[in-house]
Amino acid sequence: MIKAWSVAVLTLKEGLRHRILYSVLIVTLLTMTASVLISGFFMRDISKILLDFCLATISIGGLLIPFFLAVNLLAGDIDRQTVVTILSRNISRTEYLVGKYLGISLLTAIVMLLLFAATICSVYGGMILYGETYFKSFSLTAISLSTVLGFLSISILNAFVVLWCTLTTTSFLATLLTFSTYLIGQMIDDVVRFVESPPPGAVISSSVHNAAQVIQYIFPNLAAFDHKLTASHGLLIPLDQFSILSLYAAVYIIATLTLSIFIFSRRDLC
């Protein structure tokens, strides 16, 4: 575990050196600042509009990691044969993959935590500009729980990044598969609901119905973790629902990493 943690710290340091990380952070922080001013045009829903902007920005900032940095940090090691050098230092392939995942997750947590802090600053900035009357529905607990669920969702996606990087030979293909996983995770619930209850006149073949069912159990339902709308209204996520989603995320992450380790242990790196 100590060796895996060493790989995690190394991955975190490498990720923090990427300029694209700071570019996106600057853009997202500017967006949050602008949201304080833009929300003033919606006097009846200042709090909701402001939080909608900020929570969406937290999600976008978090998604930066799996879509851009994570693939480069892992697939780049394999492409450049850096992984061979690391493994030659008496580090097992399991420790390497677990360490890489932990490092990527730490990077995600840092980015989302910074944007969460910026969200709180934006809210208090809005209170100063427009008065606390418009922020009566604001709930720090609701915002915190929504952000944690967003982090769990991206953590699942990070686990799939590890899986796709162990399966593929190019960064482009790994990125494409990661993006496909995200789209499926956001849409599968609606697709299954449509297939099971089609509108009048629509005919759904049995093969399409079966395919939707299979995909539903293979890919994670990432949309279930999206509670930004609930949080922006100041409504708390039920504790039992939060617990189930946390367990769901843990199971998916462990299963995906286990499969990744199994594949990577049999991959020829030379």
- Would residue 135 count as lying in a domain? yes
* 242 occurs within a structural domain: yes
Tally of structural domains, the chain: 1
Q: Is 83 domain-assigned?
A: yes
Residue 9 lies in a domain: yes
The answer to the question of residue 134 being in a domain is yes
pLDDT (tens digit, 0 to 9) for every residue of the chain, 270 residues total?
A: 677 888 888 888 888 887 777 777 787 778 777 777 777 666 677 788 888 888 998 998 899 888 888 888 787 777 666 777 777 778 888 888 999 999 999 999 998 998 898 888 888 888 887 777 777 888 889 999 999 999 999 999 999 999 998 888 788 888 899 999 999 999 888 877 777 777 776 667 777 777 777 888 888 999 999 998 899 888 889 999 999 999 999 999 999 999 999 988 887 766
Whether residue 270 lies inside any domain: the answer is: no
- 47-100 pLDDT, tens digit per residue, is 888 888 889 989 988 998 888 888 887 877 776 667 777 777 788 888 889 999
Of the chain, the percentage scoring pLDDT greater than 70 comes to 93
The CA distance from 165 to 247, in Å, is 25
- Write down the pLDDT at residue 43: 66
Say how far apart CA 255 and CA 260 lie, in whole Å. Answer: 9
Is 181 a member of any domain?
yes
Residue 269, in any domain of the structure: no
Q: What range defines the domain where residue 143 resides?
A: 2-264
User: Measuring CA to CA, which residue among 135, 136, 163 is closest to residue 220?
Assistant: 163
